[in-house]
Chains A and B, each alone.
Chain A
């Protein structure tokens, strides 16, 4: 994982910084929820509970139709927008396959830097929804620290310029405009080619992305590679 701070491998704020930042030991009940998620270890190390869900995308199977992006904005915001989508597909029409397409979905980072930097706890671990890293828009003050903290170049925490708050993939924990089946995600449900999958296990990942091959013999029958 790219480490922009150049400090320790494990991201997270220290207990000392947390205490200093909140002006003392007398933490109010309002901050109890994020605190419960932190397991306080030695001074300079804090760990978050791992997410119980991750989206995987096989870019070689993606057809670049952006339906996942449109489904995301529709389910969460009731409008059609690529800018509000919490999964982003970018393409270069003239580039060589498979480098002509890139899918940037939130990796639900174990170290959750976007959660760590949030001053209000808006960006938090949601224990009621499989520890998904998600943003409570009511608490967001718009500092965009989470956007900056995301270790990936296209930040996965994104700024909603219409509603003036940050937002990120919540694995469809909260979809006000979609009466969804339990455990489903809008992007995965609509994807025409089945290029998006969901796993409960932390995936193997590299700087290039999660390693996932979702192509089988029926895909090969269409003339596409399955390696």
Chain B
């Protein structure tokens, strides 16, 4: 097999045994998310999914690579897709996803595995050690309690003692077995996961995180402290020459050239054409730094620092404490980057941290939270913005101390327990618009595809496909007075790539009259299908793809729709096309909906928190201006500020009906129908849903 290694590692933690699942059986699903959903379906469809929580031992967790992992396909080599029943979402722990970057996926492939399936529960803290084809279930008693950094260092210390060194190379076994210069790649939990906190996440190396959805707690519930992998093998490639040439061509045509000045056409630097500049939302650590990226990246987004603080951290985790830092000090200080380092060490979801702190502040300002208040806590809100405060808070949510006992079930569940949910989700002080997950920073009332995509799915989508274009427009208008590309270019260039709906530019008309239309239904459907395959199964990184608009091209048209399948075919020898991948994504999306349906999903559950319907969005973290393309009645395109509106609840319900019909689902329930499933070659899925009276009516 080319690209694939042909086997998926199956871990039975209860029996401390392992076996191999034949990848060939699942190859039509592509990789990553497709593999994970299909394996989860096979292993769990007959379990009590309607009542399963993320921390139940019956849960199955998958970590899947794609055929591109460990290859030099640009910005598609480094990511691993994590799936299973999560522990964060409310009211249902949906079957959900997260993923992390770095080098774990490549090492897993070099070890000879396409992915890992984790079943059961170990009786004592356990660390799984994968060394090429050998797997050991090791005692993690000495590791349990350590933070994510100390855990990895301790494992490396053990391995450097145990593995033979030969002239600087680690030798695995005898003369004719593999050698490596690398340290093992490790994914681990910290104290938050160990204590089954919904804030718990998975951390790999210094700054790669499977952050959302509580997979840290899921690992912790299985007594699984860490998985390490070291691989010395090779990945076969169908057409090596074509792959290398394609990489070089992509670099020449679409990437920021080394040592060239930054493009003047674009200002922000996101997407495939971005320079290797760390994406920081706070002042950097002191001292010098150098670039750092995931394996195979075309140009990275992180750095490592002379101070060794918050190495490999970027984006959200560097911004999770900035608002509070500024409140306390008038400007951001080093407290923000110190907070970043701490959330990585604790293995805590930085999104939930930020959203929770905003909520606690609002409760404190209402006189409801503090020492001796209705919500009693020793957390000193006067110290919000300081390093000691964030450390106290992380201690609470990681170790379930003080109000951390309530918060560890998730901020929304804590709000319910405190009797605050109805009021605070209506006035928006609890900024958690869907599924118990914090608003991402892109208000559903403004960026509609983000909100809709989230409520028809399982989680906050975290897919920036169109959002990057908004950012570029926002920054360019602010810095230069004019956008880098016109609203019409935004709509035309992107929708031209949105097969099979290409040609309908109104899919990107964010004007209020269009919010509940079939055009927007097509936008959301396309986004689900594209992301499920190209981003979450093939594992092209969200920070670089899709490359709709690229400033290194005279016509600004990026490589998406042209090169992703070219790379895929050079690796696998297949006949993938852009459109075929999107169609596979639709198949995966349907299987996911079938799993949610077994979990008790109904369309009535797919809704926003009350504040989204009751109040206009006033500000996002960059202010009150949120530019999106809008087409007026005369057909003219322009950027309009889409802040200042709420969503109409009845309109949203009408939109959902259009969406479900477009997807071929029962509009009464949101369940998949037999006709749709059979057309996707999933008749057994229809049979299962029918057997439990959950098959959608035609």
- Interface residues of chain A, those whose CB is within 8 Å of chain B, are 59-67, 70-71, 73-75, 77-84, 88, 90, 92-98, 100-101, 104, 147-148, 150, 152-155, 158-159, 161-162, 164, 177-179, 186, 189-195, 214, 216, 218-219, 221-225
Contact = CB atoms under 8 A, between A and B. Distances in A.
Interface in B67-81: 70-72, 77
Contact of A154 (B77, B109, B167, B260): B167
Interface in B290-341: 290-300, 303-308, 311-312
B254 to A, nearest CB: 12
A93 B206 contact: yes
B548 to A, nearest CB: 21
B372 to A, nearest CB: 41
Of A78, A80, A88, A96, the most chain B CB neighbours within 10 A belong to A80
B244 A98 contact: no
Contacts of B307: 96
B177 to A, nearest CB: 6
Contacts of B306: 96-98
Interface residues of B, number: 74
Contacts of B70: 70, 80
A192 B71 contact: no
Contacts of B290: 59-63, 97-98, 100-101, 224
B620 interface: no
B57 interface: no
Contact of B276 (A63, A92, A104): A63
6 contacts: A63-B291, A79-B234, A83-B232, A100-B292, A221-B262, A223-B278
Contacts of A92: 183
B258 to A, nearest CB: 3
A70 B181 contact: no
B182 A82 contact: yes
A192 to B, nearest CB: 5
A94 B153 contact: yes
Of A60, A66, A153, A177, the most chain B CB neighbours within 10 A belong to A66
Contacts of A224: 288-291, 303
Contacts of B276: 63, 192-193, 222
A194 B179 contact: no
Given A79-B236, A96-B306, A65 B300 contact: yes
Nearest to A190: B247
B298 A80 contact: no
A90 B296 CA distance: 14
Main secondary structure of the interface of B (DSSP, over half): loop
Given A65-B295, A161-B177, A177-B240, 9 more contacts: A63-B293, A66-B106, A67-B296, A154-B168, A154-B181, A162-B234, A194-B258, A218-B260, A222-B277
Given A73-B234, A74-B240, A158-B179, A65 B71 contact: no
Interface of B: 70-72, 77, 103, 106, 109-110, 149, 152-153, 166-169, 175-183, 205-207, 232-237, 240-241, 243-245, 247-248, 251, 255, 258-262, 275-278, 284, 287-300, 303-308, 311-312
Contact of A84 (B77, B175, B234, B304): B234
A170 to B, nearest CB: 16
A84 to B, nearest CB: 7
Contacts of B305: 96-97
Contacts of A101: 290, 304
Nearest to A225: B288
A74 B180 CA distance: 17
B169 A64 contact: no
Q: Which are the 7 A-B pairs with shortest beta-carbon distances?
A: A194-B258, A154-B168, A79-B234, A93-B205, A63-B291, A81-B234, A177-B240
B179 A71 contact: no
A85 to B, nearest CB: 9
Contacts of B261: 218, 221
Contacts of A65: 293-297, 300
A111 to B, nearest CB: 18
Contact of B180 (A60, A78, A82, A164): A82
Given A96-B305, A161-B179, A189-B248, A83 B233 contact: yes
Contacts of A164: 176
Nearest to A84: B234
A159 B179 contact: yes
A216 B149 CA distance: 34
B251 A93 contact: no
Contacts of B237: 74, 78-80
Nearest to A76: B240
A115 to B, nearest CB: 17
Contacts of A191: 258
A154 B248 CA distance: 29
B55 to A, nearest CB: 29
Nearest to A227: B288
B556 to A, nearest CB: 21
Given A97-B305, A193-B276, A221-B261, A80 B291 contact: no
Of B70, B179, B247, B304, the most chain A CB neighbours within 10 A belong to B304
A217 to B, nearest CB: 9
Nearest to A88: B181
Contacts of A155: 167-169
Given A70-B71, A78-B240, A93-B205, A193 B288 contact: no
B299 A93 contact: no
A101 B299 CA distance: 17
Contacts of A225: 288-289
A25 to B, nearest CB: 35
Contacts of B206: 93-94
B103 A66 contact: yes
Contact of B304 (A73, A90, A93, A154): A93
B299 A192 contact: yes
B182 A90 contact: yes
B232 A161 contact: yes
B291 A190 contact: no
B291 A61 contact: yes
A97 B289 contact: yes
B304 A82 contact: no
A100 B180 CA distance: 18
Contacts of B77: 70
A63 B256 CA distance: 14
